[in-house]
Structure formats: structure tokens, C-alpha cells
Amino acid sequence: MAEKLRLMAVHAHPDDESSKGAATMARYIAEGHDVMVVTCTDGGAGSVLNPAMDRPDVLENIIEIRREEMARAAKILGIQHRWLGFKDSGLPEGDPKPPLPEGCFALVPLEESVPSLVEAIRDFRPHVVVTYDENGGYPHPDHIRTHEISMAALDAAADPAFDPSLGSAWEVQKVYYGHGFSRAKLQAFHEAMEARGLESPYTEWLANWDANRPDVMDRVTTQVECAEYFEIRDEALKAHATQIDPTSRWFAIPQDLQREVWPTEEYELVRSAVDSTLPENDLFAGVKV
């Protein structure tokens, strides 16, 4: 593809961009396109998930540290990056669950949060936007809110009557939901590991999988070949050192096995103003410059 195209990915927290669709973004950067990640929250409520980083000084400066991690990941991926800067809502746990903290992203009214994303869309003018589905990919309040703000902002950004001070109206040609944890994908890796005589990190996860839970692969319309960029994806993940333990199951599947068994990342086309034949293998399929 000779034309330079623009892709925007809207994510809830710093590190989400590296665990969801990072190899796709790295591929498009390598092909000469522009990619911007918009991060909705500051990541300040995230737990330290890497034992090596679980120190008092890290917890005291978690927002600043996560900003630095995001900057490193963006550099590794080659992407542009923009913060919306909302307060991380955290993931409420317990029964009953505690209330969300006052002023957090999930509680900010859409009429207050949407304009910031509209401005980002109108500034960058993406041809394609990737965001989360109606369940947020998983039911974290910030992920669900990211879906809501994304869909509202896409409509508002295309409306010339919506706050012209935020820039000229811009209609995105294609909108996708990114999809990650597929049972079919985990099963394929599990079987390939066992066939090699290796211990699968997914044995317990698969055994406890709800048989009534639909597989996201039933919704996937688009699989982007990006195996060549799995190493970049993993380096970007490791840049988020507070969130990613380099000894965790994120990295338990050898890369050569990943490239052989499942060399793609998955998406669901949910809006399109252009013609594109499904299934697709390219987020930019049918896009017009």
C-alpha cells in the first residue's frame, strides 16, 4: 500500500496498548503508516503486578512511573501517543463491590469526557479507529467507559455542529473492536505446547473456562498477519515494568511456536463507510485517502 494511512487505537490504561494489538501497530508503522494510541486514564489505580517492582517508592510515584513506562513503550512501537488524563477508576473487588472513587474516569459524565477524544480524533484525523467492545474486552469499569467514550466521540467528531473549536469535523472510515482472549487461541497454544513436550501455562485456565461463554472468534471479521512483530510487542510489554512480570505466562509460549500456530491478531469490524469484503486481513482494506 503506497498511501500513508492513519490508525488510532483508544485504550483505557498505559500497558493496554502493548497487550492488545501491539504487533499490528508495529506492522503498520513498519509499512510507513501513522499510528496514534490514545490512553484515557493515568493508570494511577493499577496494582504493581511485577514482584521486582513492588516497592514503596514505586507505589508513591506510580503515576509518574507509568508515564515513563508508556513513553518507553511508545518509542519501542514507533507510535504517537496522547493522554486524555482521566483518573484511573481501579477495579473494584469484593462482595459487595466498593463504590468507584469520586471523579474517576468511569464516573465522569460523557458530556465532559467526550470532547477530549473528539479533539484527538479531529487533530490526528485517523482513517481507522480500534477500541473495545461493549463489554470492554473484560468488565473493568474503565474499559467499558473507553468503549462508551469512543463510540460517542466518533459520532461527535463527524458532526460539524459539534463544538467547532475542537477542530474541523472528521469521519472515520472504519471502526473495529480489538479482541484478545479467545478460547480457540489458548487451546491451540495449549495443544502445541503439549505436542512439543512442554508445560502449557493454560491448563488450569482452560479447565475453568465457562463452557457457556461465547468465543470471541465467533465475532472476529479480520485477522491481521503480524507474527514478524511479536518480538517488538513483547519488548513494549516489558517496558511496562510495574505491570508485566517478565517471568509470567505472557512470555511462556516460545515465539517460534506463536508464529507457527497463531500468527495474527484479531478484530471485529463494527462500522464501515467503505466497501470491504469479509473476512479481511487488513484494517485498512477498502480505505480511501
CB 132 within 8 A of CB 12: yes
Q: What is the pLDDT of residue 170?
A: 98
SS (H, E, C) 80-122: EEEEEEEECCCCCCCCCCCCCCCCEHHHCCHHHHHHHHHHHHH
State yes or no: 16 annotated in a binding site. Answer: yes
Q: What is the pLDDT of residue 138?
A: 85
Class of domain 6-180+217-272: alpha beta
| DSSP E strands, the chain | 6-11, 34-41, 80-86, 128-131, 174-179, 222-225, 264-272
For residue range 59-73, what is the model confidence (pLDDT) as tens digits?
899 999 999 999 999
Q: What is the pLDDT of residue 2?
A: 59
State yes or no: 11 annotated in a binding site. Answer: no
**Residue 40, φ and ψ in degrees, nearest 5:** -75, -35
State yes or no: 190 annotated in a binding site. Answer: no
For residue range 109-157, what is the model confidence (pLDDT) as tens digits?
999 999 999 999 999 999 999 999 999 988 899 999 999 999 999 999 9
Q: Residue-wise pLDDT tens for the chain (289 aa)?
A: 458 999 999 999 999 999 999 999 999 999 999 999 999 999 999 889 999 999 999 989 999 999 999 999 999 999 999 999 999 999 988 888 899 999 999 999 999 999 999 999 999 999 999 999 999 988 899 999 999 999 999 999 999 999 999 999 999 999 999 998 899 999 999 999 999 999 999 999 999 999 888 899 999 999 999 999 999 999 999 999 999 999 988 899 999 999 999 999 999 999 999 998 999 999 999 999 8
Q: What is the pLDDT of residue 258?
A: 97
Residue 218: other Cβ atoms inside 10 A: 10
Neighbouring C-alpha atoms within 13 Å toward the C-beta of 136: 16
Q: What is the pLDDT of residue 223?
A: 98
Q: What is the pLDDT of residue 180?
A: 81
* DSSP codes, 232-248: HHHHHHHH-TTT--TTS
- Could you tell me the residue ranges of all domains in the chain? 6-180+217-272
Calculated CA dihedral for residues 203, 226, 28, 116, nearest 10 degrees = -10
d(CA 44, CA 220): 32
